[in-house]
Structure 1
């Protein structure tokens, strides 16, 4: 795991290999292997898995909410802060766990294959899972604070509902008939994707402008000091 975090080459190699293997399994090997087999129920595995993912995402959302509230972060556009304040570190830690959760979510694809849920193995599903892992490595590497916190917090909150739904649906029709809120969950997921791009783009653009202005001020200050020194010696 440390090699993946510390090496850009390892990261993209891992994501790319995952994409190729998953695509191969979903399009050819997976359905072919399961064609003459009964779907695995995997109840013994899916219940603790979905419960664990719901708890992990709840932890991430709570950590980001409490720290950002204490720091009075803007929920519209917040530049990245380069500080070692305990709450800033709490946000960075929660963002790291969010990134790690993207690795765990690879399991979703393989569960779909084993349960013969081929309709859920769309290109969008594979593309989303392979790219999210890469994108959030960039997040923890260079922008682990600022507006990065908000899409991670919102997405984690939605994932609490999503994995709760997945966990309950394992029990079959007797339970799924009461899960009427599934359609609203889908709407939230789609809206979150649009919101993600807008918020991160705003925050990182603001960060770039702020850092550029800081460099200009430092350059002007340095030039002013140098000019004063030259005047004294002349």
Structure 2
């Protein structure tokens, strides 16, 4: 009978084997470990942040937040454009479309914009 640790290792190996080999060298994609650590860090900061800041003055981040929001708006606009153009050029069905695992120009273009979408969600998690 397999131990819990062995089952966890088997699941982890299955996750690694099931990934898209085209994106393996891209940051945060090959293994679930980096995102898991980022999420754990997020939970740690959310739990301890109010305790740490309770006797401190609020930080003045107005200009940083304006810059961040403009950057996120630009990134979102770029992603919208890429999703739209790539899906039109590749004749995607907007109801149900299988994943294009080829290394074609359009397949890689869609994979890249999907990575940027994923990365934007990581950024949005960290801005909380």
Do both share a fold (TM > 0.5)?
A: yes
Q: Secondary structure at the match of 2:120?
A: helix
Note the residue ranges of structure 2 that are not aligned, 5 or more in a row: 1-24
The question of 1:49 aligning with 2:74 is answered no
Cα 1:41–1:98 change in 2 (3 A) is same
Aligned to 1:104: 123
**What is the alpha-carbon distance in structure 2 between the residues aligned to residue 85 and residue 57 of structure 1?**
24
Map 1:211-226 onto structure 2 (within 5 A). none
1:26 alignment counterpart: 46
Residue of structure 2 aligned with 1:5, choices 29, 45, 56 = 29
CA distance in 2: counterparts of 1:92 and 1:101, whole angstroms? 14
Give the whole-Å Cα distance in 1 for the aligned partners of 2:89 and 2:103.
15
d(CA) in 1 for partners of 2:41 and 2:116? 25
Structure-1 separation of matches of 2:126 and 2:106: 31
TM-superposition CA deviations, 1:94-148 (whole Å, max 9, x none): 1121122223223312xxxxxxxxxxxxxxxxxxxxxxxxxxxxxxxxxxxxxxx
Distance of 1:86 and 1:24 partners within structure 2:
41
Which is helix-richer, 1 or 2?
1
CA contact (8 A) 2:79 2:113 kept: yes
Distance, in Å, in 2 between the alignment partners of 1:35 and 1:54 is 32
2-side partners of 1:32 and 1:88: how far apart? 47
C-alpha separation between the residues in 2 aligned to 1:81 and 1:15? Answer: 24
Task: Give the paired residue count.
Answer: 104
Tell me which residue corresponds to 2:99.
Answer: 80
> What does residue range 55-204 of structure 1 map to in structure 2 within 5 Å?
55-109=74-128
Matched, 1:16 2:40: no
Mind listing any 5+ residue stretches in structure 1 that lack a counterpart? 110-234
Distance, in Å, in 1 between the alignment partners of 2:69 and 2:76 is: 11
Query: Relative to 1, partners in 2 of residues 1:17 and 1:90: Cα closer, same or farther, differing over 3 Å?
Result: closer
Q: Using the TM superposition, give the Cα deviation of residue 15 of structure 1 relative to its aligned residue in structure 2, in angstroms.
A: 2.7
Counterpart position of 1:223: none
Q: CA deviation at 1:30?
A: 0.5
